[in-house]
Amino acid sequence: MANEVVLLDFWPSMFGMRTRIALREKGVEFEYREEDLRNKSPLLIQMNPIHKKIPVLIHNGKPVVESSIQVQYIDEVWSHKNPILPSDPYHRAQARFWADFIDKKMYEAQRKVWATKGEEQETGKKDFIEILKTLESELGDKPYFGGDDFGFVDIALIGFYTWFPAYEKFGNFSIEQECPKLIAWVKKCLQRDSVAKSLPDPEKVTEFVSMLRSKFVPE
């Protein structure tokens, strides 16, 4: 069977970063296609007609949407190498819980840090730091969220790191000061080729966020 893998993505997307990392963890060759979200390609609309959002993983012409689902799909299809989800059903359920926590809590809170101001931003910042501290507490003294092995929760969270300098710049706080163990975990993740090759330069992301903020947040 042919293994044609295409990823429709947008470079600063912390969700697309998950899929890039998972594919590289498994050593899967893929074609990366950058999408212009202001002018979505016919292929993106055809492959994700419900949400019309990136990332879209296309495997042998068939689309898989939503980054967490894509990572699980990649783990099942290319199961011979570097398991992403734990084999134990309870540990697997826990990993899914934390990835879901990140999806439900992180995105909205982080958006308030860079895309609002005044009281709304302060509330957002407080919520965001609380979420990071909850995640840091779950990490504890383990090298990775799942223990000794890099896995599902690490992949779910690490892409947000590229936005950290933007949160710090516009929220006026230090994540390392608030969550030192989380930053130590980031540095460990960055030593992996799959992660280093999949994440954009945080400075470039900060420039992108500055441009977005100037559009959405009136001075």
> Which tokens in the block code for residue 40?
């979505």
Q: What is the pLDDT of residue 217?
A: 82
Tell me the pTM: 0.95
pLDDT value for 3 = 83
| CA gyration radius, the chain | 17
**Whole-number Å distance between alpha carbons of 179 and 173:** 11
Which residue type sits at 46?
Answer: Q
Could you tell me the mean pLDDT of each successive run of 10 residues in the chain, 219 residues long? 88 98 98 94 95 96 97 97 96 97 94 94 96 98 96 98 97 96 98 98 97 85
How far apart CA 5 and CA 178 sit, in angstroms, is 40
Cα angle at 187 between 183 and 191, to 5 degrees? 165
The answer to whether 64 touches 74, Cβ cutoff 8 Å, is no
CA-to-CA distance for 23 and 25, rounded, in angstroms?
Answer: 5
User: Which of 114, 218, 99, 91 has its CA nearest to residue 165?
Assistant: 114
pLDDT score recorded for residue 218: 74
Q: What is the pLDDT of residue 2?
A: 64
Return all residues near 194 (Cβ < 8 A) that are at least 6 apart.
21, 24, 25
pLDDT of residue 216: 81
Confidence at residue 89, expressed as pLDDT on a 0 to 100 scale: 97
| Sign of the torsion formed by the C-alpha atoms of 110, 113, 114 and 115 | positive
